[in-house]
Amino acid sequence: MKKSPILLLLLVVFTTISSLVNAQDSVAVNNTHTEAGNEKFDPGKMITDHISDAHGWHLWGHTEIPLPIIIYSKDRGLSVFSSSHFEHGHKTYNGYMIHGNKIVAVNEMEVTDAHSATINDQITEGVYDISITKNVMALLVSIVLLLIIFISVAKAYKTRPNQAPKGLQSLMEPLIIFVRDDIAKSSIGPKYKKYMPYLLSVFFFIWLNNLLGLIPLFPGGANLTGNIAVTMSLAVMTLLITIFSANKHYWLHVFAMPGVPVWVLIILTPIEILGVFLRPFVLMIRLFANIMAGHIIALSFVALIFIFGEIHAAVGASVGVVSLVFMVFMTTLELLVGFLQAYVFTLLSAIYIGAAVEEHDHDSHGHDAHVEEALII
Amino acid sequence: MELVKPAFGLTFWMVLGFLIVLFLLTKFAWKPILKALQERENSIEDALNAAKKAKAEIEGLKSDNEKLLAEARQERDQILKEARITKDNIINEARNKATVEADRLLALAREGIHNEKMAAITDLKNQVALLSVEIAEKVMKQQLANDDKQKALVADLLKGVKMN
């Protein structure tokens, strides 16, 4: 209780900085455009740029951290170089250039101006881009953080066996117990132990990245959990675990629901089969949409300042005050959403796994899963 | 739209990175942590059970003690009761004996007193007789100191003696 004013203050400071940095970014974007050809500020482009992946980590103005480009092409083989060679998409390099956030192959092998280069569609089709992009960088940072945090926590358990938790350990322990007791045990039942590592990893991975996404400064600010590739990977893992741990009761209920007339089965079985894939699909969409929406809302408030700023600087400033208040509110809300989405993803994964490994009749459990899903969507 | 198309590169790194993190965390974090938590929970439960058992044992001891105490108290009461009876008996016996003895002694004393009294009376009688004789002798001696008086006496005595 004593610490809460300090926490509140930190929150306010954090959200204010967040807004300011976002604002700064937008100024930069704005300036680039005005310099380039006195273009109008384009909020759609600004927001899309911020929430999508990039081949460099934009810090401010024209400063960005160059990231490694790793491309494998069927025709040209592997090429690895720094993204700084593209010069913010204005130059080609090694026969590649950035076109609308994607790397495409060009006919010109030597360094030329990107605007006059010609795209080679045939080679582009055989290009596999496994560059360390902004999101991959954020992924690596979060992996390192996760390893540092939880291996140190594990060490604390080893050095102080059978004692009350201390420090970081006492922060993580309630969460680990929460995942174990309230998510795994209650949804999966007696076989929960086997799935604990996956559920814990998913929970902390999503939560940490949701929080890092709220921090506007490097190494935060990447929209990792709001990226469809990431949520798809996680959802597919849940799907694979569900399919591979499913017992014959589960498949029986999918393909031939007991106690249902044959003519109903003709309708029901396709629905059930679809349901097997629909559930992880919804998992993917939910996390992606929620986190992306959070970023879009925060950026929209920034965009408002510049839209009004174009009318007059004073109007922009006064709108900025209002925007700032809303942004503080939204960021606070996003802190909650970040935790909630991690919880929901983990809980629903556990419920799907639980439905797959459940031994007895299907009557109550499947219902629960559907009902809860409906509630959370 | 670009945003809802999963990028190949990020998917590749995500799957690889997540599997590595899953493997490393499982091996070096989740398993030791969950094991430690389970162990701690078990040890807490064991400790609680042991405390419960100890409490029950103490309760048992307490009730045993109380039983012993009650028994001891009963025994004490029994002993006291017996002692009281014995005491009463002894007192009664002694009293009876004393009464009998006293009666006997009293009777003896009474007899003695009676005997002594009798002896004293006899003695007294004898003494009185002796004294009377002596007195009579002395009186006689006094009275018969001279002839006249003797004559008078004889005469007087003779007066008394009637010739029947």
Tell me what pLDDT residue B20 has.
Answer: 95
What's the confidence (pLDDT) of residue A180? 94
Q: How distant is the Cα of A314 from the closest Cα of chain B, in angstroms?
A: 35
Range of the domain at B66: 21-158
- Whether A132 contacts A140, CB under 8 Å: yes
For B1, the closest chain A residue by CA position comes to A48
Phi and psi torsions of A261, nearest 5°: -60, 155
Interval B127-140 mean pLDDT? 84
CA distance B45 to chain A (A): 12
Task: Work out the mean pLDDT of chain B and round it to a whole number.
Answer: 89
* Residue in A with minimal Cα distance to B27: A197
What lies within 8 Å, CB to CB, of A27 at 6+ separation is A306
Q: What is this structure's pTM?
A: 0.73
Query: Over chain A (377 residues), what is each successive 10-residue block's mean pLDDT?
Result: 48 50 46 49 86 84 86 87 85 85 84 83 87 91 94 91 86 93 91 93 95 86 90 95 90 85 88 91 94 91 90 88 92 94 95 87 49 45
Per-residue burial over A122-158, b = 16 or more CB atoms within 10 Å of its CB, e = otherwise: ebbeebebbbbbbbbbbbebbbeebbebbbebbebbe
pLDDT at B76: 94
* Angstrom distances, CA of residue B142 to CA of A153, B139, B145, B147: 153, 5, 5, 11
Could you tell me the maximum CA-CA distance found in chain A, to the nearest angstrom? Answer: 71
- B25 interfacial to chain A (CB closer than 8 Å): yes
Residues 57-116 of B with CB under 8 A from A: none
User: A63 - beta bridge partners?
Assistant: A60
DSSP state letter for A81? E
What pLDDT does residue B96 have? 93
Residue B140: inside a domain, yes or no? yes
Range A47-67 burial, b when 16+ CB lie within 10 A, else e: bbebbbbbbbbbbeeeebeeb
Beta-ladder partners of A72: A78, A128
Sorted by where each begins, the domain ranges of chain A are: 68-131, 136-376
Q: Does the distance separating the beta carbons of B18 and A201 come in below 8 Å?
A: yes
Instruction: Pick the most confident of A1-10, A30-39, B102-111, B144-153.
Output: B102-111
What value does the CA radius of gyration of chain A take, rounded to a whole number of Å?
A: 24
Please give the pLDDT value at position B64: 92
Q: Which chain B residue's Cα is nearest to A156?
A: B33
The amino acid sitting at A99 is H
State the Cα–Cα distance between residues B120 and B135, nearest whole angstrom.
21
B2 and chain A in contact, CB less than 8 A: yes
Does B4 reside within a domain?
Answer: no
**Sole residue written with tokens 């991975």:** A205
Query: Does B15 fall in a domain?
Result: no
Helix (H, G, I), strand (E, B) or coil at A69: strand
In a domain, B16, yes or no: no
Interchain pair A234, B18: CB under 8 A: yes
Tokens (6 digits) for A220 = 């935060």
Say if the Cβ atoms of B36 and A196 lie within 8 Å: no
- Tell me if B124 is assigned to some domain: yes
> Are the C-beta atoms of residues A335 and A327 closer than 8 Å to each other?
no
Would you call B18 and A233 a contact, using CB atoms and an 8 Å cutoff? yes
Token pair for residue A151? Answer: 């291996």
Given CB atoms, is B20 within the 8 Å cutoff of chain A? Answer: yes
Q: Out of A132, A180, A233, whose CB is closest to B11?
A: A233
Residues of A in contact with B29 (CB under 8 A): 147, 150-151, 153-154
For residue A304, count other CB atoms closer than 10 A to its CB: 18
Query: Residue A34: its pLDDT value, please?
Result: 41
Query: Total structural domains in chain B?
Result: 1
| Cα A121 to the center of its chain, rounded Å | 30
d(CA B12, CA A41): 35
Nearest CA distance, A95 vs chain B (angstrom): 19
The dihedral of CA B139, B144, B149, B153: what is its sign?
Answer: positive
Check residue A333 and give its pLDDT. Answer: 94
How far are the Cα atoms of A28, A41, A47, A304 from residue A63, in angstroms, in the given order? 10, 20, 18, 24
Q: Which residues of B touch A146 (CB under 8 A)?
A: 21, 25
Residue A2 phi, psi dihedral angles, 5° rounding: -65, -30
A interface mutation test: which of B11, B28, B30 has the most A CBs within 10 A?
A: B30
Best of A151, A195, A239, A284 to disrupt the B interface (most B CBs within 10 Å) is A151
A252 versus B82: which is more confidently predicted?
B82
